[in-house]
Amino acid sequence: MHARDLRRSGETDERLFAVAAWRDAPYFSDAERAALALTEAVTRLSDRADAVPDEIWNEAARHYDEPALASLVLAIATINVWNRLNAATRQVAGEWAKSPEARAWMESRSGRTETAAVS
């Protein structure tokens, strides 16, 4: 989820700004810390011989059931693939959103959400 979406859903700036320092910030629950640790391990696979240590996996599994954990892993993988594609193609983050195509797509998407909410 992007910061602008999180803000719209009520997330605070303090928590958004603190994600990079999640270990030291007081804003995250134990479950969120487990998800952030898993995210970091899965993202930084080459940092250690055991890319995702049992300790990190088990802590995440303690807070999330199997379907939630699977969703979390898939979300991490999806975000990572987009980040890697953007890095490989030198796509500047957020630039696509400024294009006429992106604006049209976002408008059609927001209209669909409002219609679905009314139904």
The structure's pTM equals 0.76
Domain coordinates in residue numbering, the chain: 3-93
Q: Which residue has the higher pLDDT, 115 or 50?
A: 50
Please give the Cα distance from 96 to 33 (Å, whole number).
31
H helix or E strand, kind and range, residue 39: helix 30-43
pLDDT band for 1, please (50, 70, 90 cuts): low
Q: How does pLDDT run across 48-106, given as a tens digit for each residue?
A: 889 899 999 999 999 999 999 999 999 999 989 988 888 898 888 777 778 888 889 88
Length of the chain: 119
Superfamily in which the 3-93 domain is placed by CATH: AhpD-like (1.20.1290.10)
